[in-house]
Each structure stands twice: as C-alpha cells, then as structure tokens.
C-alpha cells in the first residue's frame, strides 16, 4: 500500500480539529526534572525503551534491561544508563553521535503508568562512572547520560487497553516462532532450529554483562 494515496493530516490545525486540545493538567505535568516520585519510579524500573533519530531522520527504538536500581539518577536532571554487551549494531549510539536528542520510556512491572524522559544524550567513557556500574566485576565500556529537558508520567490507558500485565491475556509461546526459527528462515540455514536456539541462549547467558 502507498500511504500517500490515502487521506492524511497535513498540518497542526487539522490534527487539533481531530483530537482536540489536552487538559491543563496534562500540559502542566512536565517538571523538566525528576521529583521524588520520578526518582522513586526510576529506582524501581528494570526496563527502558531508548528512542533516537539519526542526522538523516532515520529512527530507532532500543530496549535496555537492568536489575532495579541499574538505571541511575546522577542528580535530578541527569539519568545514566549503562551500555551492556549486545549485538554490536549500536544503532541508537550511532544516532546519538549525530543527533543527541533522545526519548526514554521507563517501565515498572505491574505498574500501568510509565515515566517519560526527553533530553540530550552523551556517550560517556569516564572510568569512575563506568566502574560504578560494574556487575559481577564487569565494567560497561560506555554509559549513556541524558540531560533531562522533559520528565513526566504517562497515564495507564495503553497498558489497560493492551492488558500487558495480565497473564491471562498472554499468547501461548508456541504460537510464535523462536528467534532460532526466524534466523533459520532468514538465512535458509541447514542447521536445526534447536541448535540455533541453543547457541543464542548460550550467547545470552555468556554476554549478559
């Protein structure tokens, strides 16, 4: 489908005509820093989505996971996220080198509200800071530090619509392919799916930190 063949919104006034204006409480909820409630939420969050955009407008959203307390507020206007071993694509980090503006969405399991943080990121290699994020003696090579420009809580509607935290709504895992199956089909690999999945699991365990 060519979306340009469909009717689309072309300007702000048309958009506002369709969705209306936000309530004052929604507009005013941004504090521009982490208050005691934001700090408490961040301290308990084990999962964040990092949204970036490159100089050419190419976008990326990358998930990051830590034990609660692994994401840290260096002060009320600075959030630090250690960069753990991954697949080395580093799409989000490449984008940040060219365009430091980022959006963060922090989640806490079982909590329907989320914490949104927008700001300017820097890829930090300061040794003392990196060492402060060591886990099991392993020090991250990089720490993503975000200077906060906007910080506010997002309402529960998305989680309630999706019932994401409701186990009774979760699909049977067997209904979806494993990553091993996806890669086998992508590469037309002769290796058994079980062998690919086992190799992936071994890599996940070995390179967690």
DSSP state of 164: T
Mean pLDDT for 20-31 is 87
Instruction: Classify burial at 85, counting beta carbons within 10 Å of its beta carbon; exposed 0-12, middle 13-18, buried 19 or more.
Output: middle
User: Is residue 94 over pLDDT 90?
Assistant: yes
Span 26-40, pLDDT tens digits: 888 888 999 999 999
* Residues above pLDDT 70, as percent of the chain: 100
Q: What six digits make up the tokens of 58? A: 């190419």
Q: What one-character-per-residue DSSP string does 113-158 give? A: -EEEEEEEEEEE--HHHHHHT-BTTB--SEEEEEEEEEEEEE-SHH
Question: Residues 152, 30: contact at Cβ < 8 Å?
Answer: yes
Structure confidence at residue 129 (pLDDT)? 98
No. of helices (H) and no. of strands (E), the chain: 8, 7
Distances (CA, A) of 44 to 1, 80, 203: 43, 14, 27
Q: How many residues does the chain have?
A: 209
User: Is residue 17 over pLDDT 90?
Assistant: yes
Span 35-69, pLDDT tens digits: 999 999 999 999 999 999 999 999 999 999 999 99
Q: What is the average pLDDT score of the chain?
A: 95
Note the pTM of the prediction, 2 decimals: 0.94
Distances (CA, A) of 42 to 16, 47, 49, 162, 190: 32, 10, 13, 23, 45
Mean pLDDT for 76-80 is 98
> How many C-beta neighbours within 10 Å does residue 55 have?
10
Residue of 36, 28, 44 whose CA lies nearest to 106: 44
> How many C-beta neighbours within 10 Å does residue 52 have?
24
User: Is residue 173 over pLDDT 90?
Assistant: yes
Backbone phi, psi, residue 184, to 5°: -60, -45
């Amino acid at each position: 489908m060519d979306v340009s063949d469909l009717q689309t919104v072309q300007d702000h006034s048309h958009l506002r005509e369709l969705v209306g204006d936000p309530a004052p409480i929604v507009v005013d909820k941004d504090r521009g820093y982490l208050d005691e409630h934001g700090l408490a939420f961040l301290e308990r969050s084990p999962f964040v989505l990092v949204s970036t955009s490159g100089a050419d407008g190419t976008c990326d959203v990358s998930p990051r996971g830590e034990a609660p307390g692994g994401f840290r507020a260096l002060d009320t206007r600075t959030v630090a996220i250690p960069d753990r071993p991954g697949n080395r694509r580093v799409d989000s980090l490449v984008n940040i080198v060219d365009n430091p503006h980022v959006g963060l969405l922090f989640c806490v399991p079982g909590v329907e509200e989320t914490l949104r943080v927008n700001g300017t990121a820097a890829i930090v290699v300061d040794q003392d800071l990196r060492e402060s994020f060591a886990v099991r003696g392993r020090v991250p090579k990089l720490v993503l530090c975000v200077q906060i420009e906007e910080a506010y809580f997002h309402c529960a509607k998305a989680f309630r619509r999706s019932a994401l935290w409701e186990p009774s709504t979760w699909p049977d895992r067997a209904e979806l392919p494993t990553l091993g199956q996806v890669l086998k089909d992508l590469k037309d690999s002769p290796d058994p799916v079980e062998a690919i999945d086992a190799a992936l699991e071994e890599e996940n365990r070995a390179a967690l930190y």
